[in-house]
Every structure is written in C-alpha cells, then in structure tokens.
C-alpha cells in the first residue's frame, strides 16, 4: 500500500500516461500505478545504486518488468528523447527538483505534465516553472506522520496565470493553496512563522552587522507575506 503522500501524487498521473518517475527509490509509485491504474509504461530512474537495485527487485517481484523500465542515472538523463509525456519527482527538496528539471530541459519536449512533490522549498519549483513557461495548474497540501508535504502539478500554458493577487506571496505559499486555506496549510505556515521568529530573536541577540540586518529584513518580509495570506478568508 502506498503512503498517503505517494497516493496523493499518484492521483495526478493520467491513467494512460507514459511516465518517468525520477528518484524512484523502491519504485513504489510506478508499481502502484501499473498494477492498479493500468499505466501502460514507466521508467523508474535512480541515481544511487542501492535504491536502483531495490527498484529492480520490486518491479521483478511484482511481475511488472514488461511495463516498468528501471534505469540507473542522474535525473532526466535516463529518459530517451520523446519516451514519456509525464514526469513525477517526489520526496526531495524543491531546489534539487528544480535543478533536475533544469539539467534535463532537452528531455521535456514531449512532456505534457509534471507532478512534483517537494519536501521543502516549493518556491524554488514555482520560480523554475515560471522561468521555463510551465503553468502551475493545481496544488495539494497534506500531512502524514507529522510532516507536511506539498504537491505541484504543472502543464504547458501561461506561467503567470495563477499569480494574480500578490505574486511574492503566492510564490512563497502557492497560489492555489493560498486560495483554499485548508487546515494543513494554516498549520504549516503558522509553524514556519514561529520558526522564523525564533531565528529573528536569535539574530536580535547577535552582533548587528549588515549581514544580520539583511537576514532580519528578509524574515520580516516573509512574515508579512504569510500574515497577509492567512488573513484571506476561506
């Protein structure tokens, strides 16, 4: 059975997709989709030997070797030109996910949908999507085992469309998530603000240099964005 996190990611993969799951680890996501949703083809990409072997083992054990091709390599380099139309990248930091996409731009020509699940720094992904003409079409936030995760779904289109009210705020918190204001969203950003305040107070105690001043200004700016976002009514 999939974790709630990966189950949420799986919902956004079209049933007839030709999928590449990058950083697939055990290949749980493509195995689940192939077994339960009739996914016709997937690549499970892994850069590390151990996870690669565990993916191979699971795919064989599930009898899915004809559907899922397990490949060892860095990021999108495991994909041949035109092979897939959907990419999932889950369970890593947002900056790493953005750099994987950036290093593999030439492999994105045939790709229609990206489903990305950053553990931290979703803002890095939102920025990359805008710079590369991908439109964010949906977002989800969920909590599992005391951790909060975001899922970003993107297709080609107008990259600026979702950012209408306050682009700085929406980039940081997510335009769809700000709009929806669910409990998990409020919990995440209330906790982030508390954390920033702690850092702010520690900086107050430290020697004042232009560097610590800048850090304090940055924190204040972020707190203002979050306060503004949380004021929006459901």
Region from 10-18, 85-93, 180-188, 207-215 binding ligand SAM, contact rule CB under 6 A: 85-93
Stated as kind and residue range, the H or E segment containing 133 is none
Region from 20-28, 61-69, 180-188, 189-197 binding ligand SAM, contact rule CB under 6 A: 20-28
> Tokens 């803002």 sit at which residue?
123
Closer residue to ligand SAM (CB): 43 or 226: 43
Footprint on residues 30-59 left by ligand SAM (CB under 6 A): 45-48, 51
Closer residue to ligand SAM (CB): 51 or 174: 51
DSSP state of 80: P
Closest distance of CB 151 from ligand SAM, Å = 11
> Tokens 């030709």 sit at which residue?
18
User: For ligand SAM, which residue of 10, 41, 56, 75 counts as binding (CB under 6 A)?
Assistant: 75
Show the DSSP H helices in 11-145 as ranges.
28-36, 49-61, 94-103, 122-131
If one asks whether residue 93 binds ligand SAM (CB under 6 A), the answer comes out as no
**Cβ–Cβ < 8 Å for 28, 91:** no
Stated as kind and residue range, the H or E segment containing 196 is helix 183-205
Closer residue to ligand SAM (CB): 74 or 131: 74
3-state secondary structure of 112: coil
If one asks whether residue 97 binds ligand SAM (CB under 6 A), the answer comes out as no
Query: Max CA-CA distance within the chain?
Result: 62
Q: Binding residues for ligand SAM, per CB under 6 A?
A: 6, 22-25, 45-48, 51, 74-75, 90-92, 100
């Amino acid at each position: 059975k999939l974790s709630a996190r990966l189950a949420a990611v799986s919902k956004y993969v079209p049933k007839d997709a030709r999928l590449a799951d990058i950083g697939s680890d055990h290949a749980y996501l493509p195995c689940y989709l192939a077994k339960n949703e009739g996914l016709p083809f997937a690549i499970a990409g892994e850069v590390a030997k151990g996870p690669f072997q565990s993916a191979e083992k699971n795919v064989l054990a599930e009898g899915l070797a004809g559907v899922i091709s397990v490949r060892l390599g860095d990021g999108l380099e495991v994909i041949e030109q035109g092979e897939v139309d959907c990419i999932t990248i889950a369970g890593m930091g947002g900056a790493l996910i953005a750099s994987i996409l950036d290093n593999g731009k030439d492999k994105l020509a045939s790709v229609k949908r990206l489903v990305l699940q950053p553990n931290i720094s979703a803002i890095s992904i939102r920025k990359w999507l805008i710079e590369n003409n991908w439109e964010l079409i949906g977002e989800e936030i969920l909590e599992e085992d005391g951790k909060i995760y975001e899922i970003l779904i993107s297709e080609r289109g107008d990259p600026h469309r979702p950012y209408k009210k306050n682009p700085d705020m929406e980039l940081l918190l997510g335009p769809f998530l700000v709009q929806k204001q669910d409990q998990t969203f409020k919990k995440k950003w209330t906790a982030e603000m508390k954390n920033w305040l702690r850092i702010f107070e520690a900086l107050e105690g430290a020697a004042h240099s232009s560097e610590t001043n800048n850090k304090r200004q940055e924190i204040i700016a972020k707190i203002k964005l979050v306060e503004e976002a949380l004021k929006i009514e459901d």
